[in-house]
A and B are shown apart, each in its own frame.
Chain A
């Protein structure tokens, strides 16, 4: 993947994106793309790994990109719910098939299912940029 294929990198210090996906080749590819775009990426292979990282409060996280069909004791929806309950303000982007998303995502995501999987890297970056921009706008408005 070349730099030419990537949208502009964030102009501020790198924003941190957590990528939670059990398929290593998928996780590796989207993580590499996000790093090329200037994001600081932390990879997790399961919800349990993601929780271990998210519970480290000293580690900055701006957004979590999570596959809804994670194997293990907690799937992507469960992880999204945990984030909503414990890390208010942290953006969660759920990725998966439309059918599965329609099944469960509506009650977890304010704006419904976010992304189709397999990932379209540019769409992922656009989505992250929009979410973080919205969050920053909200933060500015609250500060004013």
Chain B
């Protein structure tokens, strides 16, 4: 499905806040720009510790999009588990360049393999926010 079709699929999701957690700055900036171009509000975190700081603040977040392998006190799976426990209303998308860890199924609403096509990510976010399957 192309970007145009994606744009029309779930307009109410646009404007939602996406927390992008990725330690590779070039991947993060590219992804964040794609999401902003699609009219999402994006908060960038360079690791899980930064994500925890955002989640502990009053910053609006609807979806947490996290890489798995990151430096710091938590990896993406542990971050997903934290979100599940403390903010169960949030959607969690896990991305990884490797096969999905077994635990991903417990903590994530969707798993995407890297490299991620931005249109696929946007479609997944919109599906989750619309209450449908990712």
Once the chains bind, are B43 and A28 in contact (CB under 8 Å)? yes
**A56 in the interface (beta carbon within 8 A):** yes
Which residue in B26, B29, B36, B53 is a CB contact (below 8 Å) of A25?
B53
The answer on a CB contact under 8 Å between A45 and B29 is no
- B11-48: which residues lie under 8 A (CB-CB) from chain A? 25-26, 29, 32, 36, 43-47
Who on chain A is nearest to B29 by CB? A42
B36 CB to nearest A CB, Å = 8
Known: A28-B44, A46-B46. A53 touches B54 (CB 8 A): no
Interface of A is mostly: helix
Q: Digit string of A1-43 for contact with B (CB within 8 Å is 1, else 0)?
A: 0000000000000000000000011011001000100000011
Using a Cβ cutoff of 8 Å, how many contacts connect chains A and B?
Answer: 35
Partner pick for B26 among A24, A35, A46, A53, CB 8 A cutoff: A53
The reply to whether B54 and A49 form a contact with Cβ atoms under 8 Å apart is no
A25 to B54, CA, bound (A): 7
Of the four ranges (under 10, 10 to 19, 20 to 34, 35 or more), the interface on chain A belongs to 10 to 19
A residues apposed to B, CB below 8 Å: 24-25, 27-28, 31, 35, 42-46, 49, 52-53, 56
Q: A24-B50, A45-B47 are in contact. List 6 more A-B contacts (CB 8 A).
A: A24-B45, A25-B57, A25-B59, A28-B54, A43-B32, A45-B25
